[in-house]
Amino acid sequence: MIRRPLDQMKFVLRKVVLLLLALIVAFPLFYMFSSSLFSAKDFNKVNLLPAKAVFSNYAKVFGHRYFGSYIINSVGTSVLASVIRTVVIVLASFALTHLSFKGRNLIFSALMLTLFVPQEAVLYQNYRTIASLGLLDTWAGIIATSLFSAAQMILVMGSFMAQDRSSYDAARIDGASDLRYIVSVLVPLSGPAVLTVSIQTLITTFNSYLWPLLVTNKPKTRTIQTGITMLGFAESGDMGAQMASLVLITVPFMIVLAFTKKRIENSLIRR
């Protein structure tokens, strides 16, 4: 391909801007990895790379008395929230798409109304509810308010409606129960939508900060996202250990992302 000089200049300019932008976006993460190996000296000198890599920062994080329980609480609550929310949404979507009953439209609209209410606007009232149910400092309290999502229900309903109805009719005639049909036919056929809901819930619950901060007071019951700001490393001047803790909670998601990036992209590209 023959390029005119002007085109060539534009091409180079584009690549330079791209490189610059990529460097800026990547820098904080680069620094996170690099400084997780810093000694106190490296921090004082404001280095960008460690003079000598110090791995004891990671040992300090693993040796922290609450780090383990933070991780267990986070993994536990996010898996639990993901499973329960998926079940709640699948059951509701099934009823709304496959069954006809009195008040169907009313119930659907009422559920859709929740889209208008951001969690932040009902933060205090929900806190009161959780407190009066005696659920402060429990996993149930951490996940209770995020077990239903109307936005995700729309997604699953869309997928359920696209399925062939005659298979449900056939299953009913064969005497299969609704649950049997949902588990062995409907959900496998709507795999991508159901999977999206459960993965999204898993990640948002794992990464939520404000709500777990409000409903947990005892160190042992905190999740990692709130706990990581309270490890005390930064306060005692142990910045390297703080950075190592950030690396530890970020790397698993970076790996997952590397493997699922293509899939996420393809699901987003409309065809």
Partner 1 sequence: MNDICVFIKLSDVKLNLHRYRAYLYLAPAIVLAALFCWYPAVKGFIESFFTVSHSGTVQGFAGLSNYRTLFSDKAFLNSVSNTLRFIVLFVPANTFLTLLAASLTRRKSRFSFIPEYIFFVPVAVSLSAYSLLFRELFRGKASVINRILGTDFLWINDKSGAMATLVILGIFLDFGLDYILLMSAFRGIDKNIIEAARMDGAGGWRLFFQVELPQIRGTVLATVFLALKDAILISAPIIILTEGGPYRSTETIMFYYYTEAFRSGNRAVQNSMAALVLTIAAVAFAIYSLRRKSR
Q: Cβ of residue 58: shortest distance to partner 1, in angstroms?
A: 16
CB of 229 to partner 1, least distance (A): 6
Q: Which of 210, 215, 191 has the alpha carbon at shortest distance from 140?
A: 215
> Looking at beta carbons only, is 88 or 185 nearer to partner 1?
88
- In angstroms, give the least distance from the CB of 35 to partner 1: 8
Q: Shortest approach of partner 1 to residue 65 CB, angstroms?
A: 19
Contacts of 201-205 with CB under 8 Å at 24 or more apart are 201/78, 201/81, 201/82, 201/85, 201/86, 201/146, 201/149, 201/152, 202/78, 202/79, 202/81, 202/82, 203/78, 203/253, 204/146, 205/77, 205/78, 205/81, 205/82, 205/143, 205/146
Please identify, using beta-carbon distances, which residue of 72 and 164 lies nearer to partner 1: 164
Contact 154, 177 (CB under 8 A): no
Residue 60 Cβ vs partner 1, minimum distance, rounded to whole Å: 16
Q: Other CB atoms closer than 10 Å to residue 9's CB: what's the count?
A: 11
**Residue 2 or 120: which CB sits closer to partner 1?**
120
Give the amino acid at 212.
P
Give dist(CA 158, CA 217) in Å, integer: 40
C-beta of 53 vs 170, nearer to partner 1: 170
- Count of CB atoms situated within 10 Å of the CB of 206: 20
Other C-beta atoms lying within 10 Å of the C-beta of residue 3? 10
- Say how far apart CA 107 and CA 99 lie, in whole Å: 13
Q: Which of 251, 148, 146, 250 is nearest to 205 (CA)?
A: 146
**Of 72 and 257, which has the nearer Cβ to partner 1?**
257
Nearest distance from C-beta of residue 233 to partner 1, angstroms? 10
CB of 121 to partner 1, least distance (A): 4
Nearer to partner 1, 65 or 269 (CB): 269
